Each structure stands twice: as C-alpha cells, then as structure tokens.
C-alpha cells in the first residue's frame, strides 16, 4: 500500500513547535507564563518557520484564517474579562 504522506523536515519542525507550545500551555503553573502569550508565540514561530522553510507564504497563512472565529473569540474574551472582577 502506498503511503499518502511522507515524513520530512517540515513536518518534524512543525511538530516540535506544536509540542513545545502545548507543553508550555500545560505547565503554566510551573513557569507562570500566560497561556495566551504562549499560544501567540507558538503561532508566530510556526509562521516564521513556515516562511523560512518555504512550505507556505504569508498570503497563504492569512487566506486560511477564519476571521469570524477570531472575532467571536475576541468578543467572548472581552465579555469574560468584564464579568470577572
């Protein structure tokens, strides 16, 4: 049976960034770095590495962003921050 995906360096680097990001999110109590900051740094790292390794361009990355979800999450975070003293 033919493999549909082949493992390459792009996948390895992306997987490492994903693993480190989740590890930092799960261990927030130890290092006291906020989850939101870790998530943003992970996303920026993924975009920078993706551009450097050439597996997508900034236009490709912005094209697949679902802006409705981004604005919904931003609105929900705003409401929660107002409700929690």
Sequence-distant (6+) residues with CB within 8 A of 24 are: 31, 33, 38, 42
What is the reported pLDDT for 18?
A: 96
CA 55 vs. chain centroid, Å, equals 16
- Tens digits of per-residue pLDDT, 42-85? 999 998 998 998 888 888 888 988 999 999 999 999 999 899 87
The predicted pLDDT at position 4 comes to 72
Please count the residues of the chain.
85
Look at residue 3 and tell me whether its pLDDT is greater than 70: no
Q: Report the SS3 class of residue 19.
A: helix
DSSP E strand stretches across 1-85: none
pTM of the entire structure? 0.71
pLDDT at 1 over 80: no
């Amino acid at each position: 049976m033919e493999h549909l995906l082949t493992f390459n360096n792009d996948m390895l680097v992306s997987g490492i960034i994903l693993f480190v990001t989740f590890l930092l999110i799960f261990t927030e109590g130890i290092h006291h770095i906020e989850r939101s900051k870790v998530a943003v740094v992970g996303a920026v790292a993924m975009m920078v590495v993706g551009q450097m390794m050439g597996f997508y361009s900034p236009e490709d990355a912005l094209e697949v962003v679902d802006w409705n979800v981004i604005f919904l999450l931003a609105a929900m975070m705003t409401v929660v921050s107002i409700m929690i003293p």
